[in-house]
């Protein structure tokens, strides 16, 4: 049966640990400049509806380091759902590539591709979920504060937050989520987290959320595709004190951000550029976490 990665909880608790272990080993090999061509002669198709810097660069570089090849397919190359039904695209891709990473708007489109593909489909981001980011987040937390740490999410209950909630439940991380009223985590995601392990504590007060926390994670308040809501969302988050700044942060708390950051909005320049920020380590870990995932999905170890 083909294994897909549509969200982080497609992995079991033990499988998540395996993927992170593989990622850590491949990161160590990379730092030692040791070749690791685990996916020699394998091809990754990369389908993009949404633009990205980190997603494309990390997957393409990762496949090169693993000895394989990556093909970029932008909106003008494939025209998802326009030239032919999604199910036809899925079956065609299955005949050409060993795995497909797709970065889409509609999560339902991802699920349809996965339903008809005979090769692993990896979610490079949808409006509902960003599980590859969560893998990098968990790898970074494991390297910095450990899974016994207390962590806070402060900001929008967006796709990154929703996958992070599920990832923390899988990893057994004590998480508190602070979002303004009306911008919270989907109740179905909270229910899934509870089924996996422990659902996060939820509050509308960022000061309560961060109190005593070892790490604080934030993301942009206005995600791609939400530009029409920008002024409304900025007002809601600013008025309720959701900016991650020096006054809000507990002493010595590690700061996470999935990038790109809007300095002066969800996070201040001084915090982002401080020694407390692990965001560049987090960004690099996209590469290593995704290499671990690809090696796992393609049974390359």
Identified catalytic residue from 65, 219, 276, 282: 219
DSSP per-residue string spanning 5-43: BSSGGGS-HHHHHHHHHHHHHHHHHHHTT----TTTT-E
Q: Is 131 labelled a binding residue?
A: yes
CA–CA separation, 228 and 161 (whole Å): 21
Q: What's the pLDDT at 51? A: 86
214 is catalytic: no
Q: Is 259 labelled a binding residue?
A: yes
Domain boundaries, given as residue ranges, for the chain: 8-130+286-298, 133-282
Residues 294/23, Cβ–Cβ less than 8 Å: no
Domains 8-130+286-298 and 133-282 share a fold: yes
CA angle, 57 as apex, 292 and 221 as ends, to 5°? 95
Q: Is 286 labelled a binding residue?
A: yes
CA–CA separation, 297 and 301 (whole Å): 10
Other C-beta atoms closer than 10 Å to the C-beta of 102 total: 28
Q: What are the Cα distances from residue 53, in Å, to 131, 157, 234, 241, 270? A: 16, 22, 24, 30, 24
Identified catalytic residue from 56, 103, 213, 276: 103
Task: Give the residue from 54, 96, 78, 38 showing the smallest Cα distance to 283.
Answer: 54
CA dihedral 51, 187, 180, 54 (to 10 degrees): -20
Identified catalytic residue from 213, 258, 276, 282: 258
Q: What's the pLDDT at 1? A: 80
Above pLDDT 70, what percent of the chain? 100
Q: Is 103 labelled a binding residue?
A: yes
Q: Is 223 labelled a binding residue?
A: yes
Residue labelled with tokens 């990556």? 70
Annotation: CATH topology of 133-282: Rossmann fold (3.40.50)
Q: Is 224 labelled a binding residue?
A: yes
Q: Is 110 labelled a binding residue?
A: no
Give per-residue pLDDT as tens, 277-301. 999 999 999 999 999 999 999 999 8
Angle (deg, nearest 10), helices 159-171 and 13-31: 100
Q: Is 7 labelled a binding residue?
A: no
Q: What is the mean pLDDT of each run of 10 residues along the chain (301 residues)?
A: 96 98 98 98 96 95 98 91 92 98 97 98 97 98 98 98 98 98 96 96 98 98 80 90 97 96 97 98 98 97 82
Contact residues for 150 (Cβ-Cβ < 8 A; gap 6+): 174, 176, 212, 213, 214, 215
Q: What's the pLDDT at 40? A: 98
286 is catalytic: yes
Task: Give the residue from 85, 70, 80 showing the smallest Cα distance to 103.
Answer: 80
Q: What is the CATH number of domain 8-130+286-298?
A: 3.40.50.1370
137 is catalytic: no
Strand partners, 150: 174
Please count the CA atoms within 13 angstroms of the CA of 82 that sit on its side-chain side.
7
DSSP per-residue string spanning 232-263: HHHHHHHHTT--B-TTTSPTT-EEEE-S---B
Q: Which strand ranges, in their side-by-side order, compose the sheet holding 121-125?
A: 69-73, 43-48, 99-103, 121-125
54 is catalytic: no
Identified catalytic residue from 54, 142, 257, 286: 286
133 is catalytic: yes
Question: What's the pTM value of the predicted model, to 2 decimals?
Answer: 0.97
Q: What's the pLDDT at 229? A: 82
């Amino acid at each position: 049966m083909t294994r897909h990665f549509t969200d982080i909880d497609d992995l079991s608790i033990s499988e998540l640990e395996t993927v992170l272990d593989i990622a850590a080993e491949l990161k160590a090999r990379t730092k030692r400049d040791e070749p690791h061509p685990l996916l020699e002669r394998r091809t990754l198709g990369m389908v993009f509806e949404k633009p990205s810097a980190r997603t494309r660069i990390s997957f393409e570089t990762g496949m090169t380091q693993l000895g394989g090849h990556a093909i970029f397919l932008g909106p003008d190359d494939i025209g998802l759902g326009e030239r032919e039904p999604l199910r036809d695209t899925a079956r065609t891709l299955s005949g050409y590539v060993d795995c497909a990473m797709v970065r889409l708007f509609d999560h339902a489109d991802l699920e349809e591709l996965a339903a008809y593909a005979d090769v692993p489909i990896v979610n490079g981001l949808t409006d509902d979920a960003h599980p590859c980011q969560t893998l990098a987040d968990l790898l970074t937390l494991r390297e910095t504060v450990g899974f016994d740490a207390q962590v806070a999410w402060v900001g929008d209950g967006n796709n990154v937050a929703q996958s992070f909630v599920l990832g923390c439940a899988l990893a057994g991380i004590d998480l508190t989520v602070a979002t303004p009223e009306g911008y919270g985590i989907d109740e179905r995601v909270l229910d899934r987290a509870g089924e996996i392990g422990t659902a996060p504590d939820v509050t509308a007060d960022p000061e309560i959320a961060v109190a005593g926390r070892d790490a604080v994670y934030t993301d942009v308040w206005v995600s791609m595709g939400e530009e029409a809501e920008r002024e409304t969302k900025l007002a809601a988050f600013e008025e309720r004190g959701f900016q991650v700044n020096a006054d809000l942060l507990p002493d010595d708390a590690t700061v996470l951000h999935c990038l790109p950051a809007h300095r002066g909005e969800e996070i201040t320049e001084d915090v982002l550029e401080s020694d407390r920020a692990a965001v560049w380590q987090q960004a690099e870990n996209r590469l290593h976490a995704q290499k671990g995932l690809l090696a796992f999905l393609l049974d390359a170890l």
